[in-house]
């Protein structure tokens, strides 16, 4: 089963990479996570810096708007 990490943990890892405290590989090694996992977090953060990790069961603001609009269309 995949391990789940808190938003705070993910953001701290991203801050370390962004602050050039080391390469992605070295930060991943220090934190005990896979390099691909950290690359994925970085990608999500760079695509949506305002809310890259909405949380379990929560939607991003864009997805929430889409769901609301789809509901309105269905009701019409």
Q: How confident is the model at residue 49 (pLDDT cuts 50, 70, 90)?
A: confident
Q: What is the largest CA-CA distance in the chain?
A: 54
Kind and range of the H or E run holding 37 = helix 35-47
Handedness of CA 6, 31, 24, 15 (dihedral sign): positive
Q: What tens digit of pLDDT does each residue of 13-22 get?
A: 999 998 876 6
**Cβ neighbour number for residue 3 with a 10 Å cutoff:** 8
Whole-model pTM: value is 0.67
With a CB cutoff of 8 Å and minimum separation 6, the contacts of 9 are 31
């Amino acid at each position: 089963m995949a391990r789940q990490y808190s938003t705070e943990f993910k953001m701290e890892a991203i801050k370390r990479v962004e602050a050039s405290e080391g390469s992605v590989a070295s930060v991943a090694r220090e934190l005990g996570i896979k390099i691909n996992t950290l690359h994925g977090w970085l990608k999500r953060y760079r695509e949506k810096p305002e809310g890259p990790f909405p949380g379990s069961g929560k939607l991003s603001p864009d997805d929430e708007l889409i769901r609301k609009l789809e509901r309105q269309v269905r009701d019409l």
